[in-house]
Structure formats: structure tokens, C-alpha cells
Amino acid sequence: MMKVKCLSSLLVLILLSLLVVSCRNFAFQERGGTNDEALTQLGINRRFVLDAEFNKLLDKLQLLDGEKQIMAYIRSVVTDPKIGNEFLRTYTNLEFSNLLNALGSDKVKEIIKNHLKDCKKRPPVISKTQALIDRFNRNDEVKRSFQSELNINSNYALHLKDLFSHDNPNYVYNEIMKDDCIDDLLEEIEDAQYILNYETLYAKLSLDDKKHLDFIRDVLMRVPTNIVLDPKKPFKIYSVYEFEALLGRMGVAKSEEIIRIHKNILKEEENAHKALITAMEGEIKQSLLRRFNKHQNGYRIHLMDLFVPYSGSGSNKNSVVYDAFKNSKYADEYIAIRNEALSIRVNKIR
């Protein structure tokens, strides 16, 4: 009988212990979720062993066990010299403890809360970005650049260390509070979609239109050695990515209209040239030829001028470029030269 009573008492004690543990876990979940889950989402599948001094500090800051694990993870990042480069601050354990002490309990808890929020938002955004990059119908510098950028933006430890790279505790706190660690990832998603839009555009173009679009791209990417640029006028040298992203942002209809305007200028150039061939020899024809050659040689610079607004500020950069093309009067000079050349030919026939 005595043995049964002892077993019953032991069972009650075990149940009470489990109830206490359960309540503590519930209390922590109510205050922001479990830390083990947050760490797992970052690829951290271990619990950190806290040294006595650090644990004492975290107790002073009134952190729960799960919150301590988050702070231990952050310390493991900011004290690791292998993460980042010489421009990112690497703390000693003492320096990090001094930082937490200076911040105080409330701010440290806010940092932990922000950290948990970031953990939950990042994985689906990273997956979506990777899925878009995998859809690229290419394996060139553009895709490699996107993949490299995603690899950097996916490195949360690097991002975290960057946020803590300042001597002033309040500055560190403010940087973390205003930070949204998925901003760069969301921007990359947007840019990746623009590249896919460009690929859709390019795939539907005729061979002739592709040739003309390639010509425009090459002009913007490489300044010909025989062109003298005005140092007082701004110009932009594009990368392949920048050019494709611009047209992808602009959309198929506007991009096709730009190609049409470009082809029309070349058509008027050809018409003017044909008219000059049949024009009567003389001083007027030579003057027209000089005008024609000057205008012809200036077209590449004109193209660069049309794309300069993209490097400016504002949310409608693509519309500015499109409007610049729509308002271009470059074909008018060729039309004027052709008409004057035709008038000479008519006079000659008479």
C-alpha cells in the first residue's frame, strides 16, 4: 500500500512538472513564437550553449529561454570574422555584451521581435526569386548576375552583421527597426520579371526587328571610338541587364513602337541618300551632302541622348525614354534634305 502511494505521489509530481514546462512554453509562444522555429527557418538547426556571464546578462535583460537563443545566434554572427569583409564590424563577446547593456531590455526585445518577423518573411520570397531566375531562357552574364545577387541577398547572416556594424547603440537599434530585409529581394523579383518580359518581347520580334533592337542595344553599351561626346551633356553607358530591364519595364507595345520609330528614321535616311544620288551636281548638292553626312554621323549620339532620361530620377523613367522617342524629330532633317535634293533633280530635268 505504501509503495502504491509513493508511485502515485511521483506521478503527480511528474504531471505537475510537465504542466509547468507546458505553461512556460505557452507563455513564450504568446509573446512572439518559438525561437527554435525561427532559427530553423534560417538554417540553424542547433541550440546554443550560453556561457555563464552572457546568460547572467540575458537574465538581467529579462529574456526568456527562446529569446536567449535568438540573441546567442545574433552574437555568433556579429563576432564571426569570416562573415563579411573588413568593412563590416566584428564584435568581441565583451563588446556585444556592452552593446546589449547599453540598449536595455526593451530595445533588445524589440530587436528580437524584428528578427523573428524577418525570419518568417524571407524563405518564400527567396523561393519566388529563385523560381523566376530559373525561368530565364539563357545562361549568360545577366542570369549569373541575378543568381549572384540572390545568393548575397539570401545570406541573412551577412545582412544581420551589416545592421550591427556601427559603434553607436542607438544607431544600431534604429537601423534594425527601420530595416525590411526583404526589400532587396522584392526589388530583384521585380527586375527578374522585367527580364522575362524582355525575353517575351524578343522572342516575338521578326529577324529584322531583332537586328534593329540589337543595333540600339550595342550603341548604348559601347561608345564608338569615332564619336566625340560633349563633356557638358550627360550620357549613360548601359549594361545588357539595364537595357533589357528598361524595355521589359516599358512593355511590348512601347518597345515595338521604339523599334518602329528607329526604322522610320533609317528609311528616311535611305530616301534622302537616293535623292542625293540623282541630284544635279553643284554647290547646292555638296552643301546637302555635308548636311546629310553630319546628320548621319550624329544618329548614334542622338540615340544615346534619347536614353539619357533613364539615368535621372523619378518613377516613370521608362515613359520618359518612350516619350523622348515619340517626340524625336530626327527624321525631319532627312525629309528636308530629300525634298531639296528632289527639287534640284526636277530643275535639272527641266
Cα-Cα-Cα-Cα torsion 330, 331, 332, 337, nearest 10 degrees, comes to 110
Q: Dihedral sign for Cα 16, 17, 23, 26, please.
A: negative
Distance from C-alpha of 91 to C-alpha of 74, rounded to nearest angstrom: 11
For the stretch 134-170, pLDDT in tens is 999 888 889 999 999 999 888 889 999 999 999 899 9
The pTM assigned to this predicted structure is: 0.74
Q: Which of 200, 214, 204, 205 is nearest to 135 (CA)?
A: 200
Q: What is the pLDDT of residue 20?
A: 41
Dihedral-angle region of residue 150 (phi above 0 means left; psi in -120 to 50 means alpha; beta otherwise): alpha
Confidence category of residue 228, pLDDT binned at 50, 70, 90: low
Which residue would you say has higher pLDDT here, 316 or 119? 119
Q: Which of 215-229, 295-309, 317-331 has the lowest mean pLDDT?
A: 215-229
The pLDDT confidence band at residue 243, using thresholds 50, 70 and 90, is: very high
Quote the CA–CA distance of 65 and 21 in Å, as a whole number. Answer: 12
H/E run at residue 136:
none
331 vs 248: CA distance, rounded Å? 26
Task: Write the pLDDT tens digit of every residue in 246-257.
Answer: 999 999 999 999
Which string of b and e fits 102-114 if b means at least 16 CB within 10 Å?
ebeeebbbebbbb
Of residues 332 and 347, more confidence is placed in 332
Report d(CA 313, CA 329) in Å as an integer.
Answer: 25
Q: What's the distance, CA 32 to chain centroid?
A: 31
The answer to whether 132 and 189 have CB atoms below 8 angstroms apart is yes
Query: CA-to-CA distance for 39 and 212, rounded, in angstroms?
Result: 52
Mean pLDDT of 289-309: 91
C-alpha cell at position 77: 554572427
Cα(130)–Cα(128) distance, integer angstroms: 5
Is the CB of residue 89 less than 8 Å from the CB of residue 83?
no
Task: Find the range with the poorest average confidence among 23-27, 278-282, 323-327.
Answer: 23-27
Give backbone dihedrals phi and psi of 236, rounded to 5 degrees, phi first. Answer: -130, 130
Question: Does residue 336 contact residue 269 with C-beta atoms inside 8 Å?
Answer: no
Average pLDDT for 296-302: 92
- Mean pLDDT confidence for 331-340: 96
Report d(CA 294, CA 317) in Å as an integer: 30
Mean pLDDT of 37-63: 81
Domain ranges of the chain: 206-347
> What band does 330 get if pLDDT is binned at 50, 70 and 90?
very high
Q: What is the dihedral of CA 80, 83, 86, 89, to 10 degrees?
A: -50
Cell numbers linked to 123: 524563405
Neighbours of 130 (CB within 10 A): 16
Read off the pLDDT of each residue in 4-27 and give the average, rounded to a whole number: 43
Least confidently predicted of 80-94, 210-224, 246-260, 314-328: 314-328
